[in-house]
Amino acid sequence: MLFMVIERFAGCDPVPVYRRVRDSGRSLPEGLIYVGSWIEPNFDRCFQLMQCDDLRLLQEWVLSWRGSGITFEIVPVVSSDETRAVVAPHLDGAVP
């Protein structure tokens, strides 16, 4: 499953987080896969796409960042291609 992880940097300051990643890595438990990330220009939020089959891995990862000043929001997501396949059979049908 894919998850959009929305992190909020304390005080819009990404430096402590980037320092920790540089020095210690992402602290990902085995089975949790980092896909990619995007940062807002004002450094308020980071949007990370993560993949795993066991939600406990996300919980373990979030706990490993405890005390860092980051807050997390985790949203399950489905890719556009997969969603298109689900929606396609309904495109020509009657609207309920």
Residue bearing the bigger pLDDT, 93 or 39: 39
The rounded distance, in Å, linking the Cα atoms of 69 and 9 is: 7
Domain spanning 2-90: CATH 3.40.50.300: no
Six token digits for residue 75: 């949203």
Tell me which residue of 12, 14, 11, 28 sits closest to 65, measured CA to CA: 28
Taking the domains of the chain in order of start, what are their residue ranges? Answer: 2-90
Contact between 76 and 58 (Cβ < 8 Å): no
Summarised one tens digit per residue, pLDDT across range 27-84 is 999 999 999 999 999 999 999 999 999 999 999 999 999 988 899 999 999 999 999 9
